[in-house]
């Protein structure tokens, strides 16, 4: 039987299974062979909040009273897990959450593959999914009792249906896009920033505003958000769209150029943090505009992507050479993704779509304290863009060799 290029292409579609199994193995291996300490900080706060909801029916973060400091996506997820598996031995229940995260990672790796395939081709999707499978941050974050894994899964599902809206513009794609936007916003509100991107691209392509499609998406988004809005109106007698008060602290923390400790935290009341942050920004841009421009652009980008990596103790779990490979992969994705994605956006509209969404996401994060944790939702854009560029280079080399 003859072997043709189409035969290789048919077999190539099964390579994603190997990539998914590799990613799952790395996460399960780390979780199963690590002795985790009792959680603290945000992980403990989310745990206490979920238990409080179950036992007292009070939806409150950090306090034993109702509030809207965090949106309900992740707390409700924890409530579901705790209700099913119990929480008398919280360490054991946390392990269950970690294993759920590990298996959930199959979904977001597959979504990265499908996004790359839909926008460019299968090799792009495979290479991007491989990056996600071995990327150190994504392996480690499966062990965290935080929003990271379910946010990334929901966010990439949203992005996938945005890609389908661009390519096919089907009714169901708009419906699913609105539903997934609502779910993602209820996990992390910053996802709202990319809501309009596919509709702007459609408007440019068709040279008119597609009101019917926009209404489909907005309506389903509102249906998902409605219980949260109604709860806030009943409880607080005002319409709170996402959260209130929770972003003031990281916003104020972002007003300390190059993190030199210039914020007098002890002298600022929690309810005044947002106002103090705004005051510091205004004063900073007025008295030393160049310093603050650098800080809110290059400075914060450098802090988030270069100076720090969101790896936790994972480097100590792997061999030294593998740790170096993980860091090398990260820096390659950052440098080539930033620069190559910018260049590719000039000749490929799909690359432009990814890069604009990436910049929108980045722009929101630059408003707050620059932590490597905030890059989680941005790295898939860089992975797909780098994979696209890598397969272009490989095709060019093969073409030159065959000439």
Walking along the chain (403 residues) 10 residues at a time, the average pLDDT comes out as 51 87 98 96 96 97 93 97 97 98 98 98 97 98 98 98 96 97 96 96 94 96 98 95 77 93 88 91 96 97 95 95 97 97 96 98 95 95 98 90 81
pTM above 0.85, yes or no: yes
Collapsing DSSP states into helix, strand and coil, what is residue 13?
coil
Residue 402: per-residue pLDDT: 82
What is the residue whose two structure tokens read 């949106």? 71
**Contact partners, residue 251, CB within 8 Å, separation at least 6:** 273, 274, 277, 367, 368, 369
- Long-range pairs, 252-256, Cβ under 8 A, ≥24: 252/276, 252/277, 252/280, 253/368, 253/369, 254/300, 254/366, 254/367, 254/368, 254/369, 254/370, 255/280, 255/281, 255/284, 256/369
Residue 30 lies in a domain: yes
Residue 253 lies in a domain: no
Residue 274 lies in a domain: no
Closest-CA residue to 45 (of 160, 169, 144): 144
The CB density around residue 399, as the number of other CB atoms within 10 Å, is 9
Residue 254 lies in a domain: no
Count how many domains the chain has: 1
Residue 353: per-residue pLDDT: 98
Residue 283 lies in a domain: no
Collapsing DSSP states into helix, strand and coil, what is residue 241?
coil
Residue 143 lies in a domain: yes
Residue 13: per-residue pLDDT: 76
**Mutual angle of helices 171-187 and 211-236, in 10-degree steps:** 30
Residue 106 lies in a domain: yes
Closest-CA residue to 193 (of 360, 400, 77): 360
Residue 362: per-residue pLDDT: 97
Residue 260 lies in a domain: no
**Contact partners, residue 19, CB within 8 Å, separation at least 6:** 109, 113, 126, 129, 130, 133
The residue segments making up the domain with residue 121 are 5-244+288-402
């Amino acid at each position: 039987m003859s072997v043709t290029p189409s035969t290789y292409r048919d077999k190539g579609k099964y390579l994603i299974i190997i990539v998914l199994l590799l990613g799952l193995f790395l996460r399960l291996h780390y979780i199963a062979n690590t002795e985790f300490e009792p959680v603290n900080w945000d992980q403990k706060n989310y745990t206490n909040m979920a238990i409080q909801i179950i036992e007292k029916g009070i939806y409150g973060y950090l306090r034993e009273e109702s509030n809207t400091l965090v949106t309900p996506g992740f707390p409700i997820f924890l409530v579901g897990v705790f209700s099913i598996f119990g929480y008398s031995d919280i360490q054991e229940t946390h392990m269950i959450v970690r294993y759920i995260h590990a298996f959930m990672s199959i979904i977001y790796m597959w979504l990265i593959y499908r996004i790359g395939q839909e926008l460019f081709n299968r090799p792009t999707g495979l290479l991007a999914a491989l990056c996600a499978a071995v990327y150190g941050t994504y392996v480690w974050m499966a062990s965290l009792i935080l929003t990271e894994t379910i946010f990334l899964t929901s966010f990439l599902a949203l992005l996938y249906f945005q890609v389908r809206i661009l390519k096919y513009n089907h009714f169901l794609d708009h419906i699913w896009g609105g539903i997934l936007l609502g779910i993602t916003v209820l996990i992390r509100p910053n996802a709202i920033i990319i809501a309009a991107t596919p509709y702007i691209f459609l408007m440019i392509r068709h040279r008119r505003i597609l009101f019917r499609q926009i209404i489909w998406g907005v309506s389903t988004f509102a249906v998902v958000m409605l219980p949260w809005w109604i709860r806030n109106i009943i409880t607080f007698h005002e319409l709170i769209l996402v959260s209130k008060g929770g972003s003031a602290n990281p916003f104020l923390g972002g007003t300390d150029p190059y993190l030199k400790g210039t914020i007098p935290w002890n002298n600022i009341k929690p309810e005044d943090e947002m106002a103090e942050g705004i005051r510091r920004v205004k004063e900073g841009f007025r008295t030393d505009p160049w310093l603050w421009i650098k800080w809110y652009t290059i400075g914060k980008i450098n802090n988030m992507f270069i100076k720090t990596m969101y790896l936790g103790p994972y480097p100590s779990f792997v061999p030294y050479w593998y740790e170096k490979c993980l860091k090398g992969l990260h820096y390659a994705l950052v440098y080539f993704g930033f620069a190559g994605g910018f260049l590719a956006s000039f000749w490929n509209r799909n690359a432009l779509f990814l890069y604009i969404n990436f910049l929108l996401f980045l722009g929101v994060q630059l408003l707050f304290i620059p932590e490597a944790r905030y890059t989680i939702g941005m790295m898939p854009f860089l992975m797909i863009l780098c994979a696209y560029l890598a397969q272009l280079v490989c095709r060019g080399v093969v073409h030159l060799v065959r000439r």
